[in-house]
Amino acid sequence: MTRKEKVAFVMKELDQLYPEIPIPLDHTDPYTLLIAVLLSAQSTDVRVNKITPLLFKQANTPHEMIKLSVEEIREIIKPVGLSPMKSKGIHGLSHILINKHGGKVPQSFESLEALPAVGHKTASVVMSQAFGVPAFPVDTHIHRLMYRWGFTNGKNVVQTERDAKRLFPKERWNDLHLQIIWYGREYCPARGWNIEKDHITRMIGRKSVINKLLKGK
């Protein structure tokens, strides 16, 4: 298969597997999505989805959030990890949203990335999932699968994002990044990977990666 044929194959397979694409993090609006994505850094969506209902019961708007102290936020979010940094980030960005953006989440990468504790990936998730702006947030699953499929050299997530945006049609980015995440979790995990269940990698995957896996068995 040519590179172009491989890309078409991946999109077709993912569409068949995931015609309906759930968003992994529970949220009700752009603000709660922003907070959930911030909390998910170096944590799991499952863990975050257990904690956000407790936090949002106390505060689900910037105005309510700043009424809590950093310490109170930290106590609630402790199970997701990195709570000292994340609690300061949540409190700080809530103040900035009120002071600079009328209490609303801004709809631009530049404004989002200027907020404390918000990096490019978090901004990309919010732009894509809250506002429908084409973006390709690269998480650990996408980075791993793009390398295993031979679509990137695996150097870093910046390169992986660049390659994904170059290979896949822009109108597909928002769906595709979620489909790849679900596929990675279900069929192509970092640990306990069974190539027999992973139809896409078996068909188009990087030979060196597949051979290494088979040798290790």
Shared domain check, 156 and 113 = no
Q: Is residue 103 part of a domain?
A: yes
Q: Is residue 25 part of a domain?
A: no
DSSP the chain: --HHHHHHHHHHHHHHH-SS---SS--SSHHHHHHHHHHTTTS-HHHHHHHHHHHHHH-SSHHHHTTS-HHHHHHHHGGGS-HHHHHHHHHHHHHHHHHHHTTS--SSHHHHHTSTT--HHHHHHHHHHTT--------HHHHHHHHHTTSS--S-HHHHHHHHHHHS-GGGHHHHHHHHHHHHHHTS-SSS--TTT-HHHHHH--HHHHHHHHHT-
**What per-residue confidence (pLDDT) applies to 217?**
60
Is the per-residue pLDDT at 216 higher than 80?
A: no
Indicate which CATH number applies to the domain containing 14.
Answer: 1.10.1670.10
Q: Is residue 86 part of a domain?
A: yes
Number of domains in the chain: 2
Average pLDDT in the 73-77 region? 98
pLDDT over 70, % of the chain = 100
Mean pLDDT of the chain: 96
Average pLDDT in the 101-126 region? 96
Shared domain check, 202 and 174 = yes
Average pLDDT in the 194-202 region? 96
Indicate which CATH number applies to the domain containing 76.
Answer: 1.10.340.30
Of 6, 45, 86, 121, which residue is the catalytic one? 121
At 20-65, the pLDDT tens digits run 999 999 999 999 999 999 999 999 999 999 999 999 999 999 999 9
To the query of whether residue 139 is one of the catalytic residues in this protein, the response is yes
R_g over Cα of the chain? 19
At 133-173, the pLDDT tens digits run 999 999 999 999 999 999 999 889 999 999 999 999 999 99
Of 6, 45, 139, 198, which residue is the catalytic one? 139
To the query of whether residue 86 is one of the catalytic residues in this protein, the response is no
Is the per-residue pLDDT at 94 higher than 70?
A: yes
Average pLDDT in the 111-130 region? 96
State which of 75, 107, 129 marks the end of a domain.
129
**What per-residue confidence (pLDDT) applies to 215?**
84
State which of 97, 129, 161 marks the end of a domain.
129
Q: Is residue 76 part of a domain?
A: yes
User: Residue holding tokens 């068949």?
Assistant: 16
Domain residue limits at 171: 3-20+137-215
Shared domain check, 85 and 56 = yes
State which of 76, 108, 129 marks the end of a domain.
129
How far CA 126 is from CA of 24, 33, 197, in Å, comes to: 13, 7, 32
Shared domain check, 191 and 116 = no
